[in-house]
């Protein structure tokens, strides 16, 4: 059964399921009974249905939001487990340390720093300033975003040559990667700075 604690809706909004940084917190939220049922589910459709039922039972006021919130729980669970898998590989990765990769990538190749900051950094600034803010704060956010993008364009034209465009076109031309990769990261930048949606570890 999904526990009723830690939803953070406003007085007139349906309750929202929080996001968890740690698997233990997510498992505690979902509850043993539902976890067991999820483990026995035949496929993803069944997992989703089980969670929707559990959410509706615990939060009847969720109404139509239960399906969306159940999907969020499943994505949260999926990404926490993927992260565990990633870190278990990283510790025995067959290459030099991550510190070396970081230094080589972002210290010795400033264009890659510009790339990352252009794609994600500007959006972080915009999002943080404009999210939940109105009037002047939102305008400041939009201005910061525009200024950052203008500066990025100038840097790109003056110093970076065609590297950034090259990255985009390489992705566009690749058989497997959709060009919206950059937009996906920008959107992720927004999520990165929305503190209302995350339950911090204890």
Q: Which of residues 9-28 bind other proteins (CB under 8 A)?
A: 19-21
Assigned token pair, 168: 């985009």
Structural contact between residues 16 and 69, judged by C-beta atoms closer than 8 angstroms = yes
- Is the CB of residue 71 less than 8 Å from the CB of residue 52? no
Candidates 1, 74, 137, 138; binder of other proteins (CB under 8 A) is 74
Q: Considering only residues 35, 117, 137, 138, which one is a binding residue for other proteins as defined by CB under 8 A?
A: 117
Q: 3-state SS of the chain: helix, strand, coil percent to 5? A: 70, 0, 25
CB-wise, 9 or 111, nearer to other proteins? Answer: 111
Q: Tell me, residue by residue from 170 to 199, as one string, x for binding to other proteins by CB under 8 A and - for no binding.
A: xx-xxxxxx-xxxxxx-xxxxxxxxx-xx-
Q: In sequence order, which ranges of 95-134 are alpha helices (DSSP H)? A: 98-102, 110-116, 122-130
Helix 122-130 crosses helix 181-192 at what angle (to 10 degrees)?
Answer: 40
CB of 15 to other proteins, least distance (A): 18
Q: Which of 10, 42, 64, 96 binds other proteins (CB under 8 A)?
A: 96
In the list 9, 113, 137, 138, the residue contacting other proteins (rule: CB under 8 A) is 113
Residue selected from 94, 134, 136, 202 as contacting other proteins according to rule CB under 8 A: 94
Q: Does 200 participate in binding other proteins (rule CB under 8 A)?
A: yes
Q: How many H helices and E strands in the chain?
A: 10, 2
Phi, psi of 30 (to 5 degrees): -65, -40
Residues 59 and 9: their CA atoms lie apart, in Å, by 12
Binding mask 125-144 for other proteins (x = CB under 8 A): x--xx--------------x
Output the smallest distance, CB 69 to other proteins, in A: 13
CB of 74 to other proteins, least distance (A): 4
């Amino acid at each position: 059964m999904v526990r009723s604690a830690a939803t953070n809706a406003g007085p007139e909004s349906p309750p929202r399921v929080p996001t968890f940084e740690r698997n233990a917190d997510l498992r505690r939220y979902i509850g043993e009974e539902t976890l067991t049922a999820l483990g026995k589910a035949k496929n993803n459709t069944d997992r989703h249905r089980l969670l929707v039922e559990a959410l509706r039972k615990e939060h009847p006021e969720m109404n139509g939001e239960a399906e969306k919130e159940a999907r969020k729980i499943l994505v949260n669970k999926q990404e926490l487990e993927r992260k565990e898998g990633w870190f278990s590989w990283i510790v025995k990765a067959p290459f030099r340390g991550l510190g070396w990769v970081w230094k080589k990538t972002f210290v010795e190749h400033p264009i890659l720093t510009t790339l990352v900051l252009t794609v994600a950094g500007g959006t972080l600034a915009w999002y943080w300033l404009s999210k939940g803010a109105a009037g002047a704060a939102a305008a400041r956010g939009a201005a910061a975003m525009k200024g950052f993008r203008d500066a990025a364009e100038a840097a790109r034209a003056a110093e970076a040559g065609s590297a950034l465009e090259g990255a985009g076109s390489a992705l566009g031309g690749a058989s497997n990667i959709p060009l919206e990769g950059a937009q996906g990261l920008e959107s992720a930048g927004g999520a990165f700075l929305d503190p209302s949606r995350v339950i911090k570890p204890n």
